Amino acid sequence: MTKNWLITGASSGLGRELAERLLARGDRVVATIRKEGAPDDLQARHRERLHVVECDVTNVNAVRATVAEAFEVMGRLDVVVSNAAYGLFGAAEELTDAQIDRQIATNLTGSIQVIRAALPSLRNQGGGRIVQVSSEGGQIAYPSFSLYHATKWGIEGFVEAVAKEVASFGIDFLIVEPGPTRTNFGAGLDRATPMSCYDPTPAGEIRNAIASGNFASYGDAGKTVDAMIVAIDSPNPPLRLALGQSAYHSVREALLGRLRVLESQKEVALSVMEQS
């Protein structure tokens, strides 16, 4: 059955790959971009099923207008994909205030406002699905990505809470957590001016690994999007979907490690309870 989609950040990366595959199978897509002309080739091939809107997710009024336009153009939306984001790289001390503000406004506040804008119409139409594209960085943390992690951990907590708030309205969520994936994500990476004092630290090691291309094994973008579509199309997707070798092993190790620490604290945790 043909579905109607809204995808933010569809000019490149996983958003672009997702739009291409959905249009190729006959679905209808509202795609948001930050600058004019990015998906001209897609529009030429799928003129009747692709509606492109310029939208900067850091502009709350633009987000609300775009989501409203998407529902008006499509009549209803089956899936809303909150995908617009970018990475900020640098030790916390190296980052500027402006870089921090922009990262939070895009990845965290922008995603929150996309979801909030979609909820009333999804509720009124009787339900729908919201997909939040996060990353393995929503469950684990690397040095030099502190603000990126802050936004991804933050949006995952937001989604988990909202999913409980709106489940009775027929609205459900899927958080997608890809590991490093072969896209143009690196080209859009915002980098802090490095401080030499961090060269011999883990932050410096990560910087060198990225510069040398040895940071991680990369997943295939096409296969990643194919797996996303299978999960989104399923009647009961999981709340979280880790994709890629790095995501699976890193998230598993982090969760097991946190569980071991929690279990070691059981006695002291229970000791602070009031006596009945």
Domain tally for the chain?
1
Arithmetic mean of pLDDT, 102-106: 97
The answer to whether position 272 is within a domain reads no
**Rounded Cα gap, residues 201 and 206, in angstroms:** 9
Domain that holds residue 40: 4-246
Query: ∠229-138-258 over CA atoms, to 5°?
Result: 120
Instruction: Please tell me which residue in 135, 148, 246, 250 is annotated as part of the active site.
Output: 148
The answer to whether position 138 is within a domain reads yes
Instruction: Please tell me which residue in 11, 146, 152, 246 is annotated as part of the active site.
Output: 152
What pLDDT, on the 0 to 100 scale, is given for residue 212? 78
10 Å Cβ neighbour count for 184?
A: 11
**Rounded Cα gap, residues 134 and 84, in angstroms:** 10
148 is annotated as an active-site residue: yes
Q: Which residue has the tokens 């979907």?
A: 241
223 is annotated as an active-site residue: no
Query: ∠18-20-26 over CA atoms, to 5°?
Result: 105
What pLDDT, on the 0 to 100 scale, is given for residue 37? 59
135 is annotated as an active-site residue: no
Arithmetic mean of pLDDT, 117-143: 97
In Å, the largest CA–CA distance within the chain is: 71
Q: What is the pTM of this model?
A: 0.93
**Rounded Cα gap, residues 276 and 105, in angstroms:** 46
pLDDT, mean over the chain: 93
10 Å Cβ neighbour count for 10?
A: 29
pLDDT in tens, 20-54: 999 999 999 999 998 765 666 776 677 789 999 99
The answer to whether position 89 is within a domain reads yes
The answer to whether position 177 is within a domain reads yes
Q: What is the DSSP string of 77-137?
A: -SEEEE-----EES-GGG--HHHHHHHIIIIIIHHHHHHHHHHHHHHHHT-EEEEEE--GG
Residue 175 pLDDT > 80, yes or no?
yes
| Nearest partner of 78 among 226, 229, 221, judged by Cα | 229
Instruction: Please tell me which residue in 11, 82, 111, 134 is annotated as part of the active site.
Output: 134
| Nearest partner of 249 among 180, 185, 146, 155, judged by Cα | 180
The answer to whether position 263 is within a domain reads no
CATH classification of the domain holding 137: 3.40.50.720
